[in-house]
Amino acid sequence: MSSSLSDRSNASLISVASLAAQLGAPGIVVFDASWYLAQAGRDPRAEYRAGHIPGAVYFDLDALSDPSSLLPHMLLPPERFAAAIGNLGAGDDDRIVVYDGSGTNLSAARAWWMFRIYGHDNVAVLDGGLAAWRRAGLPLEPGDVTRPPARFTPRFRADLVRTLAEVRDAVGRGSAQVVDARSAGRFAGTEPEPRPGLRGGHMPDSRNLPYASFTGADGLLLDRAGLEAQFRAAGVDLDRPVVASCGSGVTACTILLALDLLGHRDHALYDGSWTEYGGRSDTPVDKTAI
């Protein structure tokens, strides 16, 4: 079993035992943020309706992304995100907990990061997600959950996100490390991209650290030593700034969560990620395996 950081004092992670003890208390709002690529053949909303943590509201990642962008999962304007979250029943004073059913925090970390970039730091990922909740023998609830509307005030933190121009500038000046959460095969260009029209490979000088690297076989986050070892093995210097990237800005957030748990503070997400970078003809691509 992996040793969990959620048993320590950390605002970004909560254990199943801690959530179970607080569930239903005023000021605790739980979101099921499950999302999967189409190739997985899973329907997250149907799975949610079949059984979710009691009281959990469905966090629809696609619906909470900018529909006007040609790129997937780009951030909504702050006021639109705030209105949507308020309508789902989460407010300024609430403690928010997010989880997913992947066993690797595939999308829960993205929901965690979204709350943080809109200024709500009182948010935690459920360590081990839905699988850990099931293993503990805790109850599930079917159907949809609605909550009374609440007031959610956005305080956008631009320091947590990077554009293509900013990533190019940082890489050119060597002021930040780009860490890519895609699989080793996609990073090296030996596996096809799941989205059509994208080149294979990676940004020159970037490092590869697949998103599943941060959890053990039980789905719990690795302990501090384990997380640090993953970054070291990937050639990432934890004393320097990091920009995380992936396919569409979802799984890269597992890198940001791990960095946050380690106390690293100078990190951001390249929101366009490989869908933007690999879909262009004017961006250099490297296919060297690391």
What sign does the CA torsion over 108, 110, 113, 117 have? negative
- Rounded to an integer, what is the distance from CA 245 to the centroid of its chain? 11
Catalytic residue at 246? yes
Nearest to 164 by CA among 74, 228, 88: 74
| Long-range contact set of residues 16-21: C-beta below 8 Å, sequence gap at least 24 | 16/126, 16/127, 16/128, 16/132, 16/133, 16/136, 16/138, 17/136, 19/53, 19/97, 19/126, 19/133, 20/133, 20/136, 20/138
DSSP annotation of 5 reads G
Q: Which one of 57, 88, 123, 246 is the catalytic residue?
A: 246
Q: Which residue has the tokens 């609605």?
A: 146
DSSP annotation of 57 reads E
Exposure string for 126-154, b = 16+ CB within 10 A, e = fewer:
bbbbbbbbbeeeeeeeeeebeeeebebeb
CA distance 258 to 255: 5
Give the dihedral of Cα atoms 23, 45, 195, 233; nearest 10 deg. 20
Task: Give catalytic residues, as residue numbers.
Answer: 246
